[in-house]
Amino acid sequence: MSKSSTNLTIKDIAKLSGVSKSTVSRVINHDPMVKESTRNKVMAIVEQYQFTPSKSARAMRGYGNKVIGIIVTRLDSISENHAVQSMLPIFYANGYDPIIIESQFSAAKVAEHLMMLREKQADGIIVFAFTGLDSSLLTVWQHKCVVIARPFSAYSCICYDDIGAVNKALTYLYQSEKHKKIGFIGVDKQDQTTGGLRYQAYIDFCTAYKIQPNAVLGNLSYYSGYELAESVLVHSPTAIVCATDSIALGLNKFLSEKNINNIIVISIGSSELLNFLFSQTITVDLGFDKAGIYAANELLLMLEKQVNAKIITVPSQLLK
Amino acid sequence: MSKSSTNLTIKDIAKLSGVSKSTVSRVINHDPMVKESTRNKVMAIVEQYQFTPSKSARAMRGYGNKVIGIIVTRLDSISENHAVQSMLPIFYANGYDPIIIESQFSAAKVAEHLMMLREKQADGIIVFAFTGLDSSLLTVWQHKCVVIARPFSAYSCICYDDIGAVNKALTYLYQSEKHKKIGFIGVDKQDQTTGGLRYQAYIDFCTAYKIQPNAVLGNLSYYSGYELAESVLVHSPTAIVCATDSIALGLNKFLSEKNINNIIVISIGSSELLNFLFSQTITVDLGFDKAGIYAANELLLMLEKQVNAKIITVPSQLLK
DNA sequence: TTGTACGCGTTATCAC
DNA sequence: GTGATAACGCGTACAA
């Protein structure tokens, strides 16, 4: 009926409901100082015409755009994907428009994207950290920013339980299953968390329980797991812990090809694909989806009221 | 040195360079009617202070936001990820900020997102189509929209070579390798392209070459490939064509578990993971990355000048 | 309680 | 060539 061709403005709504622009503005922004009757009157028109205030205009008034920037390292990272997918509904439910961008592990790109987000008057950001990303880039955003996967001091961070996850895996193998020869395939220590932390946890466990370490480090790809398999197997372990599910995929392929099926594989990180393809693999869930939920809620909290930075560690869970 | 705390406006630049706002605006927008000397003078200041005009303000002036909306079905779709990753650099290079959103195969969500994009004054959109998405939703965007994976009439579309890909697979098996008993695992025909088109191509080839069809249809998951394997194998084919790489993963898992290794598997869709895990599988590359490039360039073309809708089919390629 | 007038940062239309 | 000025849609002191 009503021509909904071109978008209505606050002025039109004012005319239509017989009040002034300011009153309409007050109604929209839930100013308590408006008479019940006029509020209803205006709201009726607003509903009827499906009016929504121009975001650009509000942004210009310094209002914030109801925009959250989400900077992932790579769009095709399975773990980050899960985290993002679980935070999106939360942002939508609170009226925020999440905009996803890719850093490709480049600090320079992060800087670029942050500039863009500032221009767009984004209200807050979520950053998936990586080796080489410096917290100094984020200073401007300090109080409207949640960092994932690295514990930057003075920032709100969501971290994975790298150490606990490895310990859970090793405890299960050593205590419950009485394995004595446990190998480890990890990633280079230059990667502080997935690399350094998980490797160190393995080493620490070994020294604590007087196990002969048998570790080898590569990169994050499944090729790495495949290629490094042999150098761990040469010490004839009865179980092998993989620092990531990709590595576990590679290792499993190797074992499957060589028809080796008396070795237990435990993966830090539990992906649907790994569980499907190699269902005998034991996995430790790092809780990517929970991380997303934590991150989103924490950010919304920060935007609502001043809240001091905290570091949340997502609990891990052994799945057997 | 210079305090870069709060953002400068066009007014500040004007004051700083001793001209008026209008002249600064002209310089920024490459108006040829400005004296060389003043342009240089202004540009110097612009560079020095790293000034960039407020996007919100431009948007309000109806200028367009230099924003491209990209509506994917799911963030973790490997194929769409590839396409998106290949279009992002193109948009960045042309000064556009791509914003990625998830439809989750829901037409209602698409409608919501489109509303949001309109409010934000997005300049154009790219939509990954799916079963249940109606082109009527897109009418407002008709001339600034590229659709991927479905041939909507009167829209610019990038389509995959479903029929050609299946034909290439079958031709290879039948002509070059002399297979006579070729099975097919596909997806339900309700999915018009991946489901209907690829199945029909198989059937057509069979009737053309008088092959006894041996097809079964399920869904897009790798579980489906695994579960349907048996009902195809029961007719003892020597080769099986899988409509997607996920299905091929599932089928390969089944074959591997049963120690069946005399059956050729061909997958429509070539993923890195499939090639890694089951390297003996022959794959037909549908060209997801090329699709992204085509889509981005086509959209940029549409935004620049009037150009009539065309349908581009991405060539497929057999990889053996 | 509501309306008026102004400013946000930009571009477009005039004059000069 | 360049500068003043109006306009975009909105929020908000200030006045009524």
- Output the distance from B21 CA to D4 C1' rounded to whole Å: 10
Question: What is the rounded average pLDDT of the residues B276-286?
Answer: 97
Q: Does B119 touch chain A (CB under 8 A)?
A: yes
Task: Look at residue A6 in the predicted model and tell me its pLDDT.
Answer: 61
- Same domain for A129 and A109, yes or no, is yes
Do B63 and B56 form a contact (C-beta atoms < 8 A)? no
Task: Look at residue B227 in the predicted model and tell me its pLDDT.
Answer: 98
Task: Look at residue B1 in the predicted model and tell me its pLDDT.
Answer: 34
Chain A's closest residue to B224, CA to CA, is A276
- b or e along A152-184 (b: 16 or more beta carbons within 10 Å of the residue's beta carbon)? beebbbbbbbbbbbbbbbbebbbeeeebeebbb
pLDDT digits (tens, 9 = 90+) for A259-298: 999 999 999 999 999 999 999 999 999 999 999 999 999 9
Chain B's closest residue to A112, CA to CA, is B92
Evaluate if pTM is beyond 0.95: no
**Where a domain ends, among A14, A31, A56?**
A56
Q: Say whether A54 and B75 touch across the interface (CB within 8 A).
A: no
- Same domain for B115 and B198, yes or no, is no
Q: Does A139 touch chain B (CB under 8 A)?
A: no
Task: Look at residue B221 in the predicted model and tell me its pLDDT.
Answer: 94
- Same domain for B279 and B296, yes or no, is no
Strand D atom within 7 Å of B236 CB: no
Q: Which of residues 28-87 of A touch strand C (CB under 7 A)?
A: 33-35, 37-39, 57, 60-61
**The domain that contains A18 carries what CATH number?**
1.10.260.40
Q: Which residues pair with residue A185 across a beta bridge?
A: A216, A242
Neighbours of B118 (CB within 10 A): 15
- Same domain for B199 and B265, yes or no, is yes
Q: Does A54 touch chain B (CB under 8 A)?
A: yes
pLDDT digits (tens, 9 = 90+) for B208-253: 999 999 999 999 999 999 999 999 999 999 999 999 999 999 999 9
pLDDT digits (tens, 9 = 90+) for A25-40: 999 999 999 999 999 9
Q: Say whether A277 and B276 touch across the interface (CB within 8 A).
A: no
Question: What is the rounded average pLDDT of the residues A180-207?
Answer: 97
- Output the distance from A25 CA to D16 C1' rounded to whole Å: 19
Q: How much of chain B, in percent, has pLDDT values that exceed 70?
A: 98
Do A194 and A231 form a contact (C-beta atoms < 8 A)? no
**Tokens 């935007």, residue located:** A303
Chain B's closest residue to A78, CA to CA, is B76
Q: Say whether B54 and A65 touch across the interface (CB within 8 A).
A: no
Closest CA–CA distance from residue B91 to any residue of chain A (Å): 12
Pairs of CB atoms within 8 A across A/B: 89
Q: Which domain holds residue B101?
A: 65-160+290-319
Q: What are phi and psi of A309, to 5 degrees?
A: -55, 135
Q: Say whether B120 and A55 touch across the interface (CB within 8 A).
A: yes
Q: Which two tokens stand for residue B10?
A: 């066009």
Task: Look at residue A16 in the predicted model and tell me its pLDDT.
Answer: 92
- Same domain for A173 and A247, yes or no, is yes
Q: Which helix (H) or strand (E) holds A319?
A: strand A317-319
Strand C atom within 7 Å of B57 CB: yes
Q: Say whether B55 and A120 touch across the interface (CB within 8 A).
A: yes
- Same domain for A277 and A296, yes or no, is no
* B288-304 vs B78-93: helix crossing angle, rounded to 10: 40
pLDDT for B2 beyond 50: no
Domain count, chain B: 3
- Output the distance from B171 CA to C8 C1' rounded to whole Å: 65
- Same domain for B218 and B279, yes or no, is yes
- Grouping H, G, I as helix, E, B as strand and the rest as coil, residue A284 is strand
Question: SS3 string of chain B?
Answer: CCCCCCCCCHHHHHHHHCCCHHHHHHHHCCCCCCCHHHHHHHHHHHHHHCCCCCHHHHHHCCCCCCEEEEEECCCCCHHHHHHHHHHHHHHHHCCCEEEEEECCCCHHHHHHHHHHHHHCCCCEEEEECCCCCCHHHHHHHHHHEEEECCCCCCCEEEEECHHHHHHHHHHHHHHHCCCCCEEEEEECCCCHHHHHHHHHHHHHHHHHCCCCCCEEEECCCHHHHHHHHHHHHCCCCCEEEECCHHHHHHHHHHHHHCCCCCCEEEEECCCHHHHHHCCCCEEEECCHHHHHHHHHHHHHHHHHCCCCCCEEEECCEEEC
pLDDT for B181 beyond 70: yes
- Same domain for A186 and A249, yes or no, is yes
**The domain that contains B304 carries what CATH number?**
3.40.50.2300
Question: What is the rounded average pLDDT of the residues B15-38?
Answer: 93
Q: Does A277 touch chain B (CB under 8 A)?
A: yes
The beta-strand segments (E) located in A165-281 are 182-187, 215-218, 239-242, 264-268
- Same domain for B44 and B6, yes or no, is yes
Q: Does B88 touch chain A (CB under 8 A)?
A: yes
Neighbours of B181 (CB within 10 A): 14
Do B58 and B51 form a contact (C-beta atoms < 8 A)? no
Neighbours of B17 (CB within 10 A): 21
- Same domain for B110 and B182, yes or no, is no
Q: Which of these, B109, B7, B116, lies nearest to A117 by C-alpha position?
A: B7
Strand C atom within 7 Å of A26 CB: yes
pLDDT for B150 beyond 50: yes
pLDDT digits (tens, 9 = 90+) for A81-97: 999 999 999 998 888 88
- What does A47-82 look like in DSSP terms, one character per residue? HHHT----HHHHHHTT---SEEEEEES-TT-HHHHH
Neighbours of A259 (CB within 10 A): 7
Of residues A123 and B254, more confidence is placed in: B254
- Same domain for B183 and B281, yes or no, is yes
Q: What are phi and psi of A68, to 5 degrees?
A: -115, 125
- Same domain for A155 and A183, yes or no, is no
Chain A residue numbers with beta carbons less than 8 Å from the beta carbon of B125 are: none
Nucleotide nearest to B62 (CA to C1'): D8
Task: Look at residue B4 in the predicted model and tell me its pLDDT.
Answer: 41
Q: Say whether B81 and A76 touch across the interface (CB within 8 A).
A: yes
